Amino acid sequence: MPVRVIHTLAELRAALSGHPRTAFVPTMGNLHQGHLDLVRIAHEHGGPVVTSIFVNRLQFAPTEDFDRYPRTLSSDVEALERVRCDIVFAPDEHELYPEPQGFKLHPPAEIADILEGRSRPGFFTGVSTVVHKLFNIVQPAVAVFGKKDYQQLMIIRRMVAQMALPVEIVAAETTRAADGLALSSRNGYLSPTERAEAPRLARCLGQLAVSLRAAGRIHSAALSELETAAMRELEQHGWAPDYVAVRRRRDLLIPSAPDEALVVLAAARLGATRLIDNLEF
């Protein structure tokens, strides 16, 4: 059965009426295998499965790539048919924002103004606002997000808990290419030379995790030294890193105890393309 493509809120709500266990995968389109893996996971948790495709202007800064972000709806729909997505919700901007979005959801600064939020001011306000709005529209029982956007996942979980939204957030592992590069829509911007270099980001995170385990102790000086060394390696190979940071998984604060579950996160530009990645350990 072909996927049903819906462009309006009214039609979507009518299509979902009477389905209490809808599973939802929000995307900005230009889909890759990582997105399709999220849809497969969504099938395990509910049905029908709805995938949204909407390039959200609110999360782009004026200097970022909103206008050149690829719009590939036709090929996206074909890909979603192959993984048995039931509904594609692809509203235009006026449908989702019929008037200027004056009401916005501002996540707490302590989780939103660090790491990605420090590099991209306002980004998580845009993300939180559109996800909350999409949750109100789709009314899913389950929503699936990838761990590649680690800070985003944490903020969405906090938002759901604090706003008492009846949505179960399911976290999916990062889908990677055979050489370790985390799949991303922005990988398509890389030149062949850059694409060959790109897996270094994941390798740097792995090396940092190994070094930290070998050190056996966690203290601020050791963390800072390892983070600086990772950034220096990236710089020596033509990258412009925004950050490499070891943080606690539960709140993304700097760790202080040896037995805490940790994650190392990084963002860096390779040429004109900004890549992010993370590794739990």
| Nearest-angstrom CA–CA distance, 163 and 173 | 25
Give every CB contact of residue 28 below 8 A, 6+ residues apart in sequence: 53, 54, 55, 56, 69, 185
Separation CA 168–CA 45 (nearest Å): 10
User: Given 7, 32, 35, 43, which residue is catalytic?
Assistant: 35
Supply the pLDDT for residue 68.
86
Report residue 162: phi and psi, to 5°: -75, -30
pLDDT, tens digit, 9 for 90 and up, residues 153-195? 999 999 999 999 999 999 999 999 999 999 999 999 999 999 9
- Distance of alpha carbon 104 from its chain centroid, rounded? 19
Instruction: Give the torsion sign (CA, 259, 113, 39, 68).
Output: negative
Q: What is the largest CA-CA distance in the chain?
A: 58
Predicted pLDDT at 216: 67
CB of 228 closer than 8 Å to CB of 245: no
Q: What is the mean pLDDT of the chain?
A: 95
pTM > 0.75? yes
Which residues in 150-172 are b (16+ Cβ under 10 Å) and which e? bbbbbbbebbbeeeebebebbeb
pLDDT beneath 50: ranges in the chain: none
User: Is 23 in contact with 50 (CB distance < 8 Å)?
Assistant: yes
Alpha carbon separation from 232 to 41, 137, 174, 205 (Å, rounded): 37, 45, 25, 13
What is the structure's pLDDT at 215? 74
Collapse the DSSP code of 280 into the 3-class scheme (helix H, G, I; strand E, B; otherwise coil) and give the result. strand
Answer yes or no: 35 catalytic.
yes
Could you write out the DSSP letters of every residue in 140-208?
-SEEEEETTSHHHHHHHHHHHHHTT---EEEEEPPPB-TTSPBP-GGGGG--HHHHHHTTHHHHHHHHH
Give pLDDT, residue 18: 92
